[in-house]
Every structure is written in C-alpha cells, then in structure tokens.
Structure 1
Amino acid sequence: MRIAIDHRTLYRFSKPQARIIQLLRLTPCDTQDQTVVSWMVGVDCDARLRESHDGFGNKVTMLYADGPIESLEISVTGEVLTNRTSGVVHGSSEPLAPIVYLRPTPRTTAGDGLPDFATESISGARDPLDCMHRLNAALHKRFPCAPDAPDTGVTAAEAFMAGKATSRDVAQMFIAAARSLEVPARYVSGYRIDDTTHIAPHAWAEACVEGLGWVGFDPVTGLSPDDSYVRVAVGLDAAGAASIAGTRIGHGKEELDVDLNVDRVSGEE
C-alpha cells in the first residue's frame, strides 16, 4: 500500500522564547516491510536541523532555533510503501539485544493488576506467539475504544486501574504485561490509516517472539499491524519513542495544535 502522511505540529507561546531545542522522531526507516518514497521535515522559522540515529536505531532530527520565537510549526510530509507481513518485522535496524527490552521504566510499571491479568489472558495458549495474541485480544476487549491522543504522562498501571485509555496507554499496558511474562517488549510510534480523526501519532507494541523475532501487536484493534501502518520509532516506553521532545528557554505558557492526515494514495494497491 502507498500511504501519504501530512503531520503538522504548531506551538504558540504567550511570551517570546529565547531558544528552543527539540529532538524529532518523525522520520521512518526503510525495512523489508516499508520503503520511504519521499519524506521532508520542515520548520517555519530560522532553525538548524541535524539528522542522526539514536541508540534504538531510530532516525532523529535535532532542531535548534534562537529567538525571539512567538510560534513554531513543524511539518512532516511524505509517502511510504508498505507490505502486509502479519505483524512480523523484517530488516529493521536492531543495535540492541532483545534482553534490553525487558528493562522496566516508570511509565511501564505493571503494578498489582497487570501481571495477574497477563497470566489469566494467556491461559491455554499453544505457544509463545499465541500467548501474545491472547494478551493483545484481552487488552482490546477490556479497552475497546482507545483513541490516539496527546501524552498525559500516565503509567501503564494507572491507566489499567482507571479503566480508560488511549492507544499510547494500552501499548504501554501490553509492554508491562509482556515483560511480567519475561517476554521482551517495546513501544512503537507511527501512523495508521483509519476512519477516526487523528490528533496524535498512533501507538502500538512489539514483542520478541521465539522463532519469529519482533512481532507487532495493536491492542486498539486486537490484531497485528498490517500494511495500513507506518512504523516510525521504537523505545522502552512512550517517552523514549515520543515524536517530539525537547526544551525551551523563556517564560510564559505553551499551546499545542496538531493536524494529522494519513491517507491511502488513490489508485495504489
């Protein structure tokens, strides 16, 4: 499938900022499952952009802008060709061993409820892959409507107990639950074609399954990602794979608007 993405993030400041430094995880990598046809990251002010890779193998862009800055718009436009792979990830950059993704983080704290939930979910599973599919389906059943939404900093355990979650929250729940079962798991940020209004990138998870390697699981749908997904960045949790992270020097408040369109290119199969 050929997917077109237009992602614009606008920051408005109540007082001019002296300097802004941001790390952008907004550029997907080529794998055997997806090919970046075209991609451009733009900024509407005088800024320096430096591209590199982080420790997880993600493409990153460092943004440096000197003030006074009253507003800042970051735009991403591009097209990506994707293949249907039943969720199995092929040819991705893997600088870290899977065991690293057993490492707990504050955002993926399992608490008291998730480990028991995970154990109950996989009861009767035939093999490791079936275990992860059962866990994915169980989270989808418990949280059938998990929209894409801005990050609020909620932990997996807090969202699980609250009974209300976003795609980011259920992805972190899957990660926390899988790790409680001693299965390496990681957070994925990217894009997905669906019929909803997007106000944030989509989130899902990947687990390292014996005999297959990394396999994607999306608790929002209860299924594995297909060719309607564009995989952009991975990390230990939502904070580690955030699309935009950084700091600003200056006083005042900040307002954020996101305009995101993910569409299939007409006439492409």
Structure 2
Amino acid sequence: MKLRITHQTVYRYDHPIRNIVQSLRLTPSLFEGQKTHDWQIDVADGIKGPSFRDGAGDWIEGWTVRGPADQVVITVTGRVETRDTAGVLRGYREQINPLAYLRSTPATKPDAALRELAQHVTGERDQLDLSHQLSALVTDKIAYTPGVTEAATTAADALKLGQGVCQDHAQVLIAVARLRDLPARYVSGYLHSTEDGEPHDAAHAWAEIHVDGLGWIGFDAANRCCPDERYVRLGSGLDASDAAPIRGIAAGQSAEEMDVAVRVEEIEKFQAQSQSQT
C-alpha cells in the first residue's frame, strides 16, 4: 500500500518562551514491510541539530527554536510504501537486547489486578500463542472509549476503568506480557484505517512482543489484530512517554497547549479523487 502522510503539531504558549529544545522521533522505521520514498520534517523558525540512529533502531532528530516564541509548528510530510508481514518486524536493525524490555516503568507497573489478568491465559501452546491470547484478553477487558483517559494514565488505571484508547491497550498488554516473561515495548506510528475501511484516528500506537525464533511481533489490541500494510511504524520505547514522537524542554514560565492534525491517505485513491474533481 502506498500512503501519503501529513502530520502537523502546534504548541502554543500563553507567554513567549525563551528557548525550546526538541527530540523528534518522526521518521518511519526501516524494515522489510516498510519503505520510505520521501520524508520531510520541518520546524518553523527552527534550527536543525544533530541526528542519529539510537540503539533501538529509531532515527532521532534534534531541533532548537530560539525565542521569544509564542508557538512552535512541526510539520511532517512524506510517502511510505508498506506491505503486510503478519506483524513480524523482519529486517529491522537494532542493538538493544530484547531482555531489556522486561523492565517495568511507572506507566506499566503491575498492580494486583494486572497480575491476576496476566494469569488468565493458561494452556498456551507456545510464546506466540500466549502473545495472541494476551492481546485478545486486553481487547476484551478495555473498551475503546476516547476521552476517558489522558497521557498520564497508567496501565493499572486503564484496567481499573475498563476503558481507554490505543495508548491504554498497548500499555496494559505490555504490562501483562512482561509478567509472563515476554519482552514487550510500546510502538508509535500511523494507521490508515480500521480493518473494515472506516476512518480511524490516524496517529496510532500498539505493542510489540518478542517471541523466541520469530523476533518482534506487533499486536494492536485496540483493533484486535496484528499490524499490516495499513500501519506505518515510527519508533518504540518502554512505554508511551519513552516512545513519544516529540519530546522537548521549553525555557520559560508559560502554559502550553497542543493541537495535532494527522492525515493518512492511500495514494491511488487520493489521485483518483483529484482527477475526478478536475
């Protein structure tokens, strides 16, 4: 599938800030199921700093905006070609040992309810079967409900609520997978549409679980599936905060507001619609 992606993030400040330093994980991953044809990242009035590939295989760009500034606009545009690999992250280069992803974080710290949930799956045939069953269990336990959770909601909080969004599904799955001695991590990216073709929140997140003999495999508990050609992978981390596409520090006392607009279109359909309008 050939996808055109437009992603704009706007930070607004009620008082001008002196300086902003940002770390952007906004470049698509390189692996067998994903190829980038062109990709541009622009920070309005920004100065591009060092760029590097980290140990997890993610491409990181540093940017600085010198104030005074009352807003920062980050715009990403590009084209990506994807294909279905049944969720398996083949041909991906990274240096971190998968066992590092057994470590819990404040957002994925297990409580009694998460420990109990992790033990609900019994009689699994192997690690792959266990992973699929855990993902399905999380789908059943967390109803997809926008607006009931926030960025700081933990896996334990989301399970207690029984509701949440893709971030919550991913973090709950990560927590229970680690409790079953399966390395698991959070993945940020984009999603073209749901499986039935209906529009979907284009900025998306899911989990990856490491299975012996196969490597990392994606599981999207929010949509009860493994990532396919509709998904574009950006980067990963121990939890949502660690895998955030944009991280930064602003110098100055100011309240911050953020607006995000993401559009993911299939190129053939986009071209056909454009031609029909001319």
What TM-score, normalized by structure 1, do the two folds share?
A: 0.93
**8 Å Cα contact 2:143-2:162 kept in structure 1:** no
Cα distance per residue 1:84-135 (max 9 Å; x no partner): 1111110112211111110111111111111211211x22322211111111
Superposed CA offset, 1:153-200 (max 9, x none)? 1111111112221111110110110000001111100011123453x7
Aligned amino acid, residue 63 of structure 1: W
**Change in 2 beyond 3 A, CA 1:217/1:238:** same
Contact kept in structure 1, 2:84 and 2:229, CA below 8 Å: yes
Name the aligned partner's letter for residue 185 of structure 2.
R
**Stretches of 4+ moved more than 4 A in 1?**
146-151
Residue 257 of structure 2, aligned match among 251, 255, 264: 255
More deviation, 171-180/29-38? 29-38
1:110 and 1:173 in contact (8 A); partners too: no
Shift in CA distance, 126/203, structure 1 to aligned 2, threshold 3 Å: same
Q: Give the C-alpha shift of residue 61 in structure 1.
A: 0.8
2:19 paired residue number: 19
Asked if the contact 1:148/1:202 (under 8 Å) is kept, the reply is no
CA offset digits 1:52-107 (Å, max 9, x no partner): 12232210111111111111100001111111111111011221111111011111
Q: Quick one: distance in 1 between partners of 2:114 and 2:107?
A: 13
| Matching residue's letter, 1:172 | Q
The two structures, once aligned, show a CA RMSD in angstroms of 1.9
SS of the residue aligned with 2:128?
helix
Alpha-carbon offset, residue 151 of structure 1:
5.2
SS in 2 for 1:89: coil
Alignment CA distance shift 1:105-1:62 (3 Å):
same
CA distance in 2, matches of 1:264, 1:149: 31
User: Partner amino acid for 1:73?
Assistant: V
State the 1:146 CA deviation. 4.9
**1:69 aligned partner:** 69
Which region of structure 1 is more displaced relative to structure 2, 142-151 or 178-187? 142-151
Q: Offset at 1:252?
A: 2.1
2:217 corresponds to 1:208: no
One-letter code aligned to 2:27? T
1:157–1:173 contact (8 Å) kept in structure 2? yes
Question: Counterparts in 2 of 1:115-264, with a 5 A limit?
Answer: 115-120=115-120, 122-147=121-146, 152-194=151-193, 195-196=198-199, 198=201, 201-264=203-266
Letter in 2 for 1:214: W
Q: Which residue of 253, 268, 272 corresponds with 1:266? A: 268
Q: Which moved more, 1:53-62 or 1:63-72?
A: 53-62
Conserved? CA contact 1:187–1:234, under 8 Å: yes
Distance change (3 Å), C-alpha of 1:46 and 1:58: closer
Q: 1:250 Cα deviation (Å)? A: 1.3
Specify the alignment match of 2:5 in structure 1: 5
Moved more, 27-36 or 171-180: 27-36
Q: Tell me how far 1:29 sits from its aligned partner.
A: 2.2
The count of corresponding residues between Structure 1 and Structure 2 is: 266
The correspondence of residues 73-92 of structure 1 with structure 2, limited to 5 A, is 73-92=73-92
Runs of 5+ unmatched residues, structure 1? none
Q: Check the 8 A contact 1:19/1:248 in 2, yes or no.
A: yes
* Change in CA separation of 1:11 and 1:229 when aligned onto 2, cut-off 3 Å: same
Gaps of 5+ in 2: 271-278
How far apart, CA to CA, are the structure 2 residues paired with 1:251 and 1:27?
A: 30
Percentage of matched positions with identical amino acids: 39
